[in-house]
A and B are shown apart, each in its own frame.
Chain A
Amino acid sequence: AQTVTQSQPEMSVQEAETVTLSCTYDTSESDYYLFWYKQPPSRQMILVIRQEAYKQQNATENRFSVNFQKAAKSFSLKISDSQLGDAAMYFCAYRKAAGNKLTFGGGTRVLVKP
Chain B
Amino acid sequence: EADIYQTPRYLVIGTGKKITLECSQTMGHDKMYWYQQDPGMELHLIHYSYGVNSTEKGDLSSESTVSRIRTEHFPLTLESARPSHTSQYLCASSARVGTDTQYFGPGTRLTVL
- Do residues A106 and B42 form an inter-chain contact, with CB atoms below 8 A? yes
In the complex, A43→B105 CA distance in Å? 9
The answer, yes or no, to whether B89 is at the interface (CB within 8 Å) is no
**A77: chain B residues within 8 A (beta carbon):** none
**A89: chain B residues within 8 A (beta carbon):** 41
The answer, yes or no, to whether B85 is at the interface (CB within 8 Å) is no
The answer, yes or no, to whether A46 is at the interface (CB within 8 Å) is yes
- Do residues A52 and B99 form an inter-chain contact, with CB atoms below 8 A? yes
**A84: chain B residues within 8 A (beta carbon):** none
Q: What bracket does the count of chain A residues touching chain B fall in? A: 20 to 34
In the complex, A104→B92 CA distance in Å? 14
- Do residues A104 and B42 form an inter-chain contact, with CB atoms below 8 A? yes
- Do residues A33 and B104 form an inter-chain contact, with CB atoms below 8 A? no
Q: Would A106 and B99 be within 8 Å (CB), given that A100-B48, A100-B50 are in contact?
A: no
Closest Cβ neighbor of A95 among chain B residues: B100
In the complex, A67→B104 CA distance in Å? 25
**A52: chain B residues within 8 A (beta carbon):** 99
The answer, yes or no, to whether A16 is at the interface (CB within 8 Å) is no
**B75: chain A residues within 8 A (beta carbon):** none
Q: Would A44 and B41 be within 8 Å (CB), given that A52-B99, A100-B31, A100-B48 are in contact?
A: no
- Do residues A33 and B42 form an inter-chain contact, with CB atoms below 8 A? no
In the complex, A89→B106 CA distance in Å? 14
Closest Cβ neighbor of B31 among chain A residues: A100
- Do residues A33 and B99 form an inter-chain contact, with CB atoms below 8 A? yes
**B41: chain A residues within 8 A (beta carbon):** 39, 89, 106-107, 109
**A11: chain B residues within 8 A (beta carbon):** none
Query: Could you list some 17 contacts between A and B, CB below 8 A?
Result: A33-B99, A35-B101, A44-B2, A44-B107, A45-B104, A47-B103, A50-B99, A91-B43, A100-B50, A100-B94, A100-B100, A101-B59, A104-B42, A105-B42, A106-B40, A106-B42, A107-B41
A residues sitting closer than 8 Å to B (CB atoms) are 33, 35, 37, 39, 43-47, 50, 52, 89, 91, 95, 100-107, 109
Which 5 A-B pairs rank lowest in CB-CB distance, beginning with the nearest? A45-B104, A104-B43, A107-B41, A44-B106, A106-B42
